[in-house]
Amino acid sequence: MREVISIRNLEYIYPDGTKALEDINLDIFKDESVGLIGPNGAGKSSLLLHLNGILRGTKGAVKVLGMEIEDKNLAKIRQKVAIVFQEPDDQLFMPTVFDDVAFGPLNLGYSKEKVKERVKKALKKVRMEDYEDKCSHHLSLGEKRKVSIATVLSMDPEILILDEPTISLDPRARRELIEFLKELNMTKIIAGHDLELIVEICSRVVLLDEGKIITNGNPREVLRNRSLMELHGLEVPLSLRQQKITR
Amino acid sequence: MHLPEIDKFAHLKSPLHSWDPRVKIISISILIFSVVLVRNLQVALVGFCLTTVLIFLSRIPFSFVFFHLKWVLLFTLALSAILSFTISGNLLFRLLFLSISREGVNLGILISLRAITATLLIFLMMGTAKFSLSLKALQKMRIPDKLVQLLMFTYRYIFLFMDEERKMIVAANSRGGLKRRDFSTLKTIGGIAGMLLVRSFERTERIREAMFSRGYNGKLNIIDEFTLNSGDFIKASITIAVALMLNFPWVMK
């Protein structure tokens, strides 16, 4: 399998001196779905922001699709690595859905016709094609989440990163999103606390705590390890618990 | 939640709605300048009546417009009262030890009429097209990009800001924080205002990250679909002619 992200000895210290990431080594391969789990403050979001150059490590190196994270590669990397942020209202900053989905392709310098085509295609993919003219603040949270994904799909990325994608969603919207993500054929990195989603979608899981990778492996094996989960402020997902229901 | 949307009736069909936003903004801006420069009470009244006719033509409900005029009315009412008592001139009547002058009352009415008419015209200018379209028009008119972006973000996030403020007030109320009229309540209100600022600041950081992730480089690129036709120019000519007439020397007398 082709390696799409390679992280070597990455360290990141915030300007206030807080160490967010320490000695991170990780490879992610094409079409893999990787879950990134850990307690609050483990460094998940900080790690994600390194993958398209929003944050730059104080030590170490990150390579995306063979390109070093450097100023000269940033435009290309940001087209290929799409981040869907935790809070849809941070992602949807334009007045209408169309403008938001068109924002990325327009910044890539595409023609008016190509942008329109990309917007239509991306909205169709998330089944929101009738929402082009709607204002973002009129959408429900589930709809906002879908449009947020469309805003990055319109850039035709190779790697999709989702930070807490199911947070605050009702069960129906969560299920729709999971089914959609299952159908989406591309490299996916999903960070969050929804461990059932990780079990269902991901082929690998990375457990992060205090800025370090604790373990990296098969989701069912890692998430079933009760002592490991509890040690790092997590819980074994219900679907993996050894319970028998007796009548 | 009630959202104070100026473009709530942008979907209607009227001669003002079909007007090209760029030409409309320029023409109505000229009319606003003309209205605020009027010095004659009768002419100001004519300007107000014409604007009311335009509101009628735009099909925006009067109730919607006048409901949103309440703050302007409050301000102009207070200003008129102060002017009536403080401008010297022919005595109209005396209220206890205060004398009210005809000139003061006239000036108060004139300023109120100008302010109300200008606000109504702003409603016509911004309320007859989607706000996003008006922003695109401003950008097309080469209004500085930073100013357009500032307006756009203000409009996009004002609803969220209000929502957060409402949630914080509900939270404070549920713990009995805003029920009294004392210093401690004032402190709570101050705390809410401060927290809103902190949250807004944090949000700007996150929005910045989201924008840069999608290739933002400081310039706002948007697609516009504006087309000019003869109707736009006819409407503009009529509006500008009215604006000029309101301030024509023979009218000013």
Q: For position A55, what pLDDT does the model report? A: 92
The yes or no reply on domain A3-238 and CATH 3.90.1150.200 is no
A214 touches chain B (CB under 8 A): no
A52 touches chain B (CB under 8 A): yes
For residue B20, what pLDDT band results from cuts at 50, 70 and 90? Answer: very high
Q: For position B70, what pLDDT does the model report? A: 87
Q: For position A36, what pLDDT does the model report? A: 96
For residue B218, what pLDDT band results from cuts at 50, 70 and 90? Answer: confident
Q: For position B100, what pLDDT does the model report? A: 84
Number of Cβ within 10 Å of residue A203's Cβ equals 13
Query: What gap in Å lies between CA B152 and CA A12, rounded to an integer?
Result: 34
Give yes or no for a contact between A188 and A160, defined as CB atoms under 8 angstroms apart. yes
Q: For position A245, what pLDDT does the model report? A: 53
| Long-range contacts from B164-167, C-beta under 8 angstroms, 24+ separation | B164/B196, B164/B199, B165/B192, B165/B196, B166/B1
Q: For position A244, what pLDDT does the model report? A: 53
Q: For position B3, what pLDDT does the model report? A: 57
Per-residue pLDDT for B1 more than 70?
A: no
Give yes or no for a contact between A147 and A180, defined as CB atoms under 8 angstroms apart. no
Cβ contact, residue pair B156, A82, below 8 Å: no
Give the global pTM. 0.81
Domain limits of chain A? 3-238
DSSP string across chain A: --EEEEEEEEEEE-TTS-EEEEEEEEEEETT-EEEEE-STTSSHHHHHHHTTTSS--SEEEEEETTEES-GGGHHHHHHHEEEE-SSHHHH--SSBHHHHHHHHHHHTT--HHHHHHHHHHHHHHTT-GGGTTSBGGGS-HHHHHHHHHHHHHTT--SEEEEESTTTT--HHHHHHHHHHHHH--SEEEEESS-HHHHHHH-SEEEEEETTEEEEEE-HHHHHH-HHHHHHTT----GGGS------
Query: What gap in Å lies between CA B138 and CA B29, rounded to an integer?
Result: 12
Percent of chain B with pLDDT strictly greater than 90: 46
User: What ipTM is given for this predicted complex?
Assistant: 0.84
Q: For position B252, what pLDDT does the model report? A: 55
Query: What gap in Å lies between CA A165 and CA B12, rounded to an integer?
Result: 37
Interface test with B, best of A106, A116, A159 (most B CBs within 10 A): A106
Per-residue pLDDT for B224 more than 80?
A: no
Number of Cβ within 10 Å of residue B98's Cβ equals 10
For residue B4, what pLDDT band results from cuts at 50, 70 and 90? Answer: low
Per run of 10 residues, the mean pLDDT along chain A (length 247 residues) is 92 91 95 95 93 92 94 91 92 91 92 94 92 87 92 94 91 91 93 94 96 95 94 92 59
Q: Tell me the count of A-B CB pairs closer than 8 A.
A: 81
Per-residue pLDDT for B2 more than 80?
A: no
If 0-12 CB within 10 Å is exposed, 13-18 middle and 19+ buried, where does residue B170 land? exposed
Give yes or no for a contact between A60 and A20, defined as CB atoms under 8 angstroms apart. no
B82-105 pLDDT per residue, tens:
888 888 888 878 877 778 888 888
Q: For position B158, what pLDDT does the model report? A: 87
Number of Cβ within 10 Å of residue B250's Cβ equals 6
A6-16 pLDDT per residue, tens:
999 999 999 88
Cβ contact, residue pair A93, B155, below 8 Å: no
Q: Which residue of B has its CA nearest to A109?
A: B221
Q: Which two tokens stand for residue A122?
A: 């991306």
Q: For position B220, what pLDDT does the model report? A: 84
